[in-house]
Chain A
Amino acid sequence: MTALLLVFVALLALGALVSLDERVFGPLRLQQPLVAATVAGALVGDARAGLLAGLVLTALWPALIPSGGNLLPSIGLGAVTAGAVAAAGGRVFTDAPGFLGSGRALALAVALAWLVALAGRETEAWLRRRNEEREARAFAALIGGDAALDRAVRHAAIDALLRGWLLVAAAACAAGILLRAFSEGGPVGASRWDLLGHALVLGALGGALVDWAPRVGRVLSRVTNVAPVSGSPLGPLAVVSQGRPRASQARLLCLDALYNPRGQQRGGIYRALAPSLSAPAREEARQFLAARSFQTHASLSGYVLGPVASAAEARTGEALEVAQALHAPVVSGVGDRLFAGAVHPALAWAGATIGLIALSLFHASAPNSGLLSLTLAAPAVVCVAGAGIAGRYWRGRSWRVGVGGEANVAAELRTRPWARWTRGADLVAALAGAVAFAVVAWNLTEFGGTLEIAFLTLGGAAGALAVRAGLGPLAQAGLVGGAVLTAAVLVAIGGGGGPWSSGR
Chain B
Amino acid sequence: MTVRYLLFRVDDRLLHGQVTLGWGSRLRPRAYLLADDRLAADPAAAALYESAVPEGVAVVILSVNALLAALDDPSARARLPRTEESILLVRTLADGVTLLRAGVSGPLVLGGLHFRDGAREVLPYAFLSAADAELIEALAREGRELVAHDLPGNERVGSEKLRDAVRRVFGRIGTDAA
Whether B151 and A70, one on each chain, are in contact in the complex, defined by CB atoms closer than 8 angstroms, is yes
Interface membership of B142, Cβ < 8 A: no
Whether A292 and B18, one on each chain, are in contact in the complex, defined by CB atoms closer than 8 angstroms, is no
Chain A positions 322 through 339: 1 when the CB is less than 8 Å from some CB of chain B, otherwise 0:
000011111011111100
**In the complex, which of the residues A261, A263, A335 has the most CB atoms of chain B within 10 Å of its own CB atom?**
A261
Chain B positions 71 through 88: 1 when the CB is less than 8 Å from some CB of chain A, otherwise 0:
000000000000000000
Given A333-B20, A470-B153, CB of A413 within 8 Å of CB of B51? yes
Complex Cα distance A65/B116, Å? 25
Interface membership of A203, Cβ < 8 A: no
> What residues on A are CB-neighbors of B117 within 8 Å?
291-292
Interface residues of A: mostly helix, strand, loop or mixed?
helix
> What residues on A are CB-neighbors of B48 within 8 Å?
326-327, 330, 410, 413-414
Query: Within the complex, which residue of A293, A330, A414 is in contact with B16, where a contact is CB–CB below 8 Å?
Result: A330
Bin the interface of chain A by size. Answer: 35 or more
Interface membership of B10, Cβ < 8 A: no
Complex Cα distance A67/B21, Å? 8
- Which residues 100-141 of B have a CB within 8 angstroms of A? 112, 114-117, 121, 124-125, 127
Whether A337 and B20, one on each chain, are in contact in the complex, defined by CB atoms closer than 8 angstroms, is yes
Interface membership of A341, Cβ < 8 A: yes
Complex Cα distance A340/B25, Å? 12
- Which residues 152-178 of B have a CB within 8 angstroms of A? 152-156
Query: Within the complex, which residue of A68, A262, A264, A467 is in contact with B121, where a contact is CB–CB below 8 Å?
Result: A262
Complex Cα distance A332/B116, Å? 19
Complex Cα distance A423/B54, Å? 10
Complex Cα distance A99/B51, Å? 56
Interface membership of A201, Cβ < 8 A: no
Complex Cα distance A290/B115, Å? 10
Interface membership of A207, Cβ < 8 A: no
Whether A336 and B21, one on each chain, are in contact in the complex, defined by CB atoms closer than 8 angstroms, is yes
Interface membership of A148, Cβ < 8 A: no
Complex Cα distance A264/B121, Å? 13
Complex Cα distance A330/B26, Å? 20
CB closest residue in chain B, given A418: B51
Whether A333 and B19, one on each chain, are in contact in the complex, defined by CB atoms closer than 8 angstroms, is yes
B42 → A minimal CB distance (Å): 9
Whether A470 and B16, one on each chain, are in contact in the complex, defined by CB atoms closer than 8 angstroms, is no
Interface membership of B47, Cβ < 8 A: yes
Q: Which residues of A contact B (CB under 8 A)?
A: 63-65, 67-71, 128, 261-264, 291-293, 297, 326-330, 332-337, 340-341, 410, 413-414, 416, 419, 422-423, 467-468, 470, 472
30 A-B contacts (beta carbon < 8 Å): A63-B153, A65-B18, A65-B21, A65-B25, A65-B151, A67-B22, A68-B16, A68-B18, A68-B112, A70-B18, A70-B22, A261-B121, A261-B125, A262-B115, A262-B121, A291-B116, A292-B115, A292-B116, A326-B45, A329-B52, A330-B52, A336-B16, A336-B18, A337-B20, A337-B54, A340-B17, A341-B21, A341-B25, A410-B48, A414-B47
7 further contact pairs, Cβ within 8 A, besides A330-B52, A470-B153: A63-B153, A65-B152, A67-B17, A261-B121, A262-B115, A332-B17, A337-B17
Q: Which residues of B contact A (CB under 8 A)?
A: 13-22, 25-26, 44-45, 47-49, 51-55, 112, 114-117, 121, 124-125, 127, 150-156
